Homo-oligomer: A and B are copies of this chain.
Amino acid sequence: MDTVSTNRSHGGTQGVYSHQSEATGTTMTFSAFVPDHSEGATLPVLWYLSGLTCTQANVTEKGEFRAACARAGIIFVAPDTSPRGDDVPDDEAYDFGKGAGFYVDATQEPWAANYRMRSYIEQELPTLIADHFPADMDRQGITGHSMGGHGALTISLRNPGRFRSTSAFAPIVSPMNCPWGDKALTGYLGADKATWREYDACALIEDGARLPDLLVDQGDADGFLHEQLKTGLLVMACRKAAIPATIRMQPGYDHSYYFISSFMAEHVAWHAERLKA
């Protein structure tokens, strides 16, 4: 693992790191904020998965998570959203290819070799974090924004017990039922929709997956709400499955980091409460 940069911030260290990934066959970059802590201590880990077009940099610069994480003593890990590099296949659209990995393991060519963000986030990066950071991997939470909210929800639903806490900002709640998801899952997984269900939070819940609880914030002035995000489907799925979800519509807020940063401290505090030793 190589250190790209470190900056002291909010009583901790904001680092950016890169490493050769076995899952994607590329160099992957991620950021991690580690609050100051006593020698030998281990801290809980909050994963943040980013949305379309983002790298780890967006939330690292604009997310306003550090003050809250320093206060709560939580490590904040932000991975990239796709493999990168000149040799990695790409698409001209912003919502497919680089910056749009959708947290799946692709099965279709030419994507299958590199677009393995599920394996990367679920298996490879946690091992790296456990090895290189003062992380208590028995205390993990996960959150994310938009495509990354989809990632957070589906990864948590597929791995019961791994995350003590799950939240999301303006998540894509059902890729099977929106244009972004339809395009991405067709492209990465092919036309057989049976293979899509494990990448759809609402379908996973319908198929029996559960979360102990859930916090979601969604801006009601978000231009993607009605066509892409469809928060109502998650509200219905959680109600039907008796998942005690707190899904809040925030009046006037849009899809940007101006929205995310407004509720970040509350999300961190919500995770912190569930990640106590």
A residues adjacent to B (C-beta < 8 A):
7-11, 14, 61-62, 64, 66-67, 219, 221, 252-254, 256-259, 261-262, 265
> In the complex, what's the smallest C-beta–C-beta distance from A109 to chain B, in angstroms?
39
Q: Which residues of B contact A254 (CB under 8 A)?
A: 7-8
Question: Is A258 in contact with B221, judged by CB distance below 8 angstroms?
Answer: no
Nearest to A220 among chain B residues (CB) is: B8
> In the complex, what's the smallest C-beta–C-beta distance from A273 to chain B, in angstroms?
19
Nearest to A7 among chain B residues (CB) is: B258
Q: Which residues of B contact A219 (CB under 8 A)?
A: 8
Known: A258-B14, A261-B66, A265-B67. A8 touches B221 (CB 8 A): yes
| 18 A-B pairs with C-beta separation under 8 A | A7-B254, A7-B256, A8-B253, A8-B254, A8-B262, A9-B253, A9-B259, A9-B261, A10-B261, A10-B262, A11-B262, A14-B258, A61-B61, A61-B62, A61-B257, A64-B64, A67-B262, A67-B265
Cα distance A27–B173 in the bound complex, in angstroms: 43
> In the complex, what's the smallest C-beta–C-beta distance from A9 to chain B, in angstroms?
4
Of A11, A67, A254, which is in contact with the most chain B CB atoms at under 10 Å from its CB?
A67
